[in-house]
């Protein structure tokens, strides 16, 4: 092993365990062994070690799972945080990226070639969990969820072999990799990705309105989506607004311009019937991906305890907003907010299990400091969403820990097929799959146990 094998009781164990989770809300779960892999062969060795010791395997890439999914009780945690290589083949319009690479490094490697990838919104998110879980990144409405850009993967399987999987050689594995999130049964050591033309410019409009306009703004934005080309990413945030000392409902539209769709795509926002009531407005301002990363980083700052959940939903805007009132009316003070992401529909593909989406995505994000306040915030995040459940079209694996609030992250048909494929590739259940309620150590999960 070129990397390090750390066992429970070793001096460096606790540091390695805590480092595996970006969130300040760390899980009370303790792996038996943590392997800090140095390269792909170390990943193979880690899987063989787990097999030899009869231990299950969990995985950490960027460590951004909100619940620290990789940190499980017992077993071997394979920590991939040192696997960050990126290579670009500009002629082929492809890139290979190791799982712990972060969005800004990927963008930087591509920028020199005039290329782009829909990396995650926060600069610190790892590519590994992001892509496998769907991957709703910058310009994803146009370029698709990131998982659909996977051309091939290098993956260590349950039998301890490292294979290069493509749609031709391993169609079932590739289908599963495109969207199964923490339910994937293998360790991806390298993603081979399609990459795209860099936007000609990126232009942004942001309107912040007083909270009393909340439902009017949200309903209007829901209907406006049809007038915006997919090159415009469009969302609202309700609650905490970085840079303003009052809570607002803020609309943000970001145009990733192409020769066909320029900044004029943002013009309809200026026709909002409540436009003159904006507390702050940025109109058609040119920006950069670096600046977008900086803005996103300020929305979910590091060092707080974070709980996040989300539901894909659609229906008449009024019905949706009435159902969502328990979430929207009770946003905790401080840095918490609700994301109202307007998505629409991206064409699903038969070679991908990714299958949960809707016109809008409603996602409460709670951020706080005091551990005593865990339950109150988690009750808001998971408990209040129950009021919208009847309109749910599923969840995003990236945001939801199915152990805290169960919902389907794939269509029922794809969820069933995934389990059949798992049975073939990982018959003994070496890899941990979706977390069960009994494994969750959140105050919310504990409070609901009999
Ligand atoms: C501040 C913040 C902002 C975010 N913004 C976005 C966003 O804009 N869009 C979006 O879609 N999501 C977003 N997310 C969610 C994020 O994409 C997921 O939490 C994702 O799992 C993080 O990937 P990671 O590699 O950093 O996580 P990790 O915690 O390292 O991994 C989570 C799980 O994914 C699986 N996994 C990870 N790597 C591998 C691998 N190489 N092989 C096999 N399985 C693997 C494992 O089950 C692992 O336990 C955000 C999260 C945070 C904390």
Does residue 333 lie within any of the structural domains?
yes
CB 80 within 8 A of CB 34: no
Distance 185 CA to ligand 1 centre (A): 15
The rounded distance, in Å, linking the Cα atoms of 346 and 17 is 37
Is the domain of 134 the same as that of 218?
no
Classify residue 12 by its DSSP letter.
Answer: T
Mapped onto helix, strand or coil, the DSSP state of residue 339 is strand
CB 398 within 8 A of CB 133: yes
pLDDT of residue 242: 80
pLDDT of residue 244: 85
Atom of ligand 1 nearest to the CA of 127: 25
Is the domain of 14 the same as that of 108?
no
pLDDT of residue 241: 85
Domain end, chosen from 198, 227, 257, is at: 198
Helices (H), 267-357: 289-299, 317-328
Distance 44 CA to ligand 1 centre (A): 21
Does residue 248 lie within any of the structural domains?
yes
Q: Report the residue count for the chain.
A: 450
- Atom 39 (ligand 1): residue with closest C-alpha? 128
Residue 168: is it exposed, middle or buried by C-beta count within 10 angstroms (0-12/13-18/19+)? exposed
Is the domain of 122 the same as that of 156?
yes
pLDDT of residue 243: 82
Atom of ligand 1 nearest to the CA of 431: 47
Classify residue 103 by its DSSP letter.
Answer: H
CB 421 within 8 A of CB 176: yes
Is the domain of 127 the same as that of 225?
no
Atom of ligand 1 nearest to the CA of 306: 53
Is the domain of 287 the same as that of 384?
yes
Domain end, chosen from 391, 414, 445, is at: 391
Is the domain of 273 the same as that of 328?
yes
Which residue of 31, 39, 59, 173 sits with most ligand 1 atoms within 8 Å of its CB, as the best mutation to test the pocket?
A: 59
Q: What phi and psi values does residue 341 have, to the nearest 5 degrees?
A: -95, 125
Is the domain of 130 the same as that of 247?
no
Q: Bridge-partner residues for 164, per DSSP?
A: 154
- Give the domain CATH number at 15: 3.30.43.10
Is the domain of 222 the same as that of 364?
yes
DSSP secondary structure of 207-243: EEEEGGGHHHHHHHHHHHGGGS-TTEEEEEEEE--TT
Is the domain of 142 the same as that of 34?
no
Packing angle of the helix pair 289-299, 103-111 (nearest 10 deg):
170
Distance 200 CA to ligand 1 centre (A): 29
Tokens 């990733």 label which residue?
Answer: 256
Q: Is the CB of 123 under 6 A from ligand 1?
A: no
pLDDT of residue 56: 98
Write out the residue range of the structural domain in which residue 206 sits: 202-391
- Give the domain CATH number at 176: 3.30.465.10
Q: Bridge-partner residues for 221, per DSSP?
A: none
The rounded distance, in Å, linking the Cα atoms of 57 and 42 is 14
Q: Bridge-partner residues for 280, per DSSP?
A: 208
- Atom 23 (ligand 1): residue with closest C-alpha? 129
pLDDT of residue 245: 85
Does residue 72 lie within any of the structural domains?
yes
Distance 280 CA to ligand 1 centre (A): 33
Does residue 421 lie within any of the structural domains?
no
pLDDT of residue 326: 96
Instruction: Single out the residue of 443, 172, 123, 50 nearest to residue 59, CA to CA.
Output: 50
pLDDT of residue 450: 87
- Give the domain CATH number at 305: 3.40.462.20
- Beta strands 57-60 and 76-79 are parallel
CB 235 within 8 A of CB 199: no
Does residue 398 lie within any of the structural domains?
no
Is the domain of 253 the same as that of 357?
yes
Q: Is the CB of 132 under 6 A from ligand 1?
A: yes
From first to last of its 450 residues, the chain has per-residue pLDDT tens of 999 999 999 999 999 999 999 999 999 999 999 999 999 999 999 999 999 999 999 999 999 999 999 999 999 999 999 999 999 999 999 999 999 999 999 999 999 999 999 999 999 999 999 999 999 999 999 999 999 999 999 999 999 999 999 999 999 999 999 999 999 999 999 999 999 999 999 999 999 999 999 999 999 999 999 999 999 999 999 998 888 889 999 999 999 999 999 999 999 999 999 999 999 999 999 999 999 999 999 999 999 999 999 999 999 999 999 999 999 999 998 899 999 999 999 999 999 999 999 999 999 999 999 999 999 999 999 999 999 999 999 999 999 889 999 999 999 999 999 999 999 999 999 999 999 999 999 999 999 998
Does residue 403 lie within any of the structural domains?
no
Q: Is the CB of 300 under 6 A from ligand 1?
A: yes
Q: What phi and psi values does residue 187 have, to the nearest 5 degrees?
A: -115, 115
Strands (DSSP E) along 124-231, which ranges? 150-156, 162-166, 187-194, 196-197, 202-210
Is the domain of 206 the same as that of 192?
no
Does residue 218 lie within any of the structural domains?
yes
pLDDT of residue 141: 98
Is the domain of 223 the same as that of 343?
yes
Domain end, chosen from 182, 198, 214, is at: 198
Does residue 45 lie within any of the structural domains?
yes
The CA R_g of the chain, rounded to the nearest whole Å, is 21
The rounded distance, in Å, linking the Cα atoms of 364 and 113 is 37
User: How many domains, in total, are found in the chain?
Assistant: 3
């Amino acid at each position: 092993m070129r990397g390090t094998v750390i066992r429970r009781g070793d001096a460096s164990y606790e540091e390695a365990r805590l480092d595996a989770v970006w969130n300040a809300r760390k899980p009370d779960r303790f792996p038996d062994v943590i392997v800090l892999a140095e390269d792909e062969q170390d990943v193979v060795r880690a899987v063989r070690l787990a097999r030899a010791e009869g231990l299950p395997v969990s995985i950490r890439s960027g460590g951004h799972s909100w619940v620290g999914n990789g940190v499980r009780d017992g077993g071997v945690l394979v920590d991939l945080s040192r696997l960050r290589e990126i290579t670009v083949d500009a002629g082929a319009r492809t890139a290979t990226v190791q799982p712990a690479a972060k969005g800004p490094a990927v963008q930087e490697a591509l920028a020199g070639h005039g290329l782009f990838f829909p990396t995650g919104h926060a600069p610190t998110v790892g590519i590994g969990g992001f892509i496998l879980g769907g991957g709703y990144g910058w310009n994803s409405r146009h370029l698709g969820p990131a998982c659909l850009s996977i051309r091939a993967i290098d993956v260590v399987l349950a039998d301890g072999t490292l294979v290069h999987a493509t749609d031709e050689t391993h169609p079932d594995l590739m289908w599963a990799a495109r969207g199964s999130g923490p339910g994937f049964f293998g360790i991806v050591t390298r993603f081979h990705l399609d990459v795209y033309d860099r936007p000609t410019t990126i232009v942004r409009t942001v309107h912040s309105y007083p909270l009393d306009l909340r439902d009017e703004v949200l309903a209007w934005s829901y209907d406006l989506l049809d007038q915006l080309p997919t090159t415009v990413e469009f969302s609202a945030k309700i609650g905490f607004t970085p840079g303003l000392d009052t809570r607002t409902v803020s609309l943000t539209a970001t145009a990733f311009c192409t020769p066909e769709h320029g900044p004029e795509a943002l013009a309809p926002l200026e026709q909002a019937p409540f436009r003159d009531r904006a507390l702050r407005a940025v109109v058609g301002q040119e920006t950069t991906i670096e600046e977008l990363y900086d803005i996103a980083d300020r929305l979910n700052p590091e060092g707080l305890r974070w709980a996040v959940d989300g539901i894909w939903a659609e229906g008449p805007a009024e019905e949706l907003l009435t159902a969502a009132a328990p979430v929207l009316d009770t946003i905790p003070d401080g840095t918490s907010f609700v994301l109202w992401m307007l998505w629409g529909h991206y064409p699903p593909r038969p070679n991908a299990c990714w299958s949960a989406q809707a016109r809008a995505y409603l996602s409460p994000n709670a951020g706080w400091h005091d551990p005593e306040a865990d339950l109150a915030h988690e009750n808001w995040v998971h408990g209040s969403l129950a009021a919208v459940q009847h309109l749910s079209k599923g969840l995003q694996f990236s945001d939801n820990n199915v152990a805290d609030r169960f919902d389907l992250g794939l269509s029922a048909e794809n969820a069933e097929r995934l389990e059949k494929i798992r049975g073939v590739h990982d018959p003994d259940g070496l890899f941990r799959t979706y977390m069960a309620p009994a494994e969750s150590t959140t105050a919310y999960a504990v409070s609901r146990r009999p």
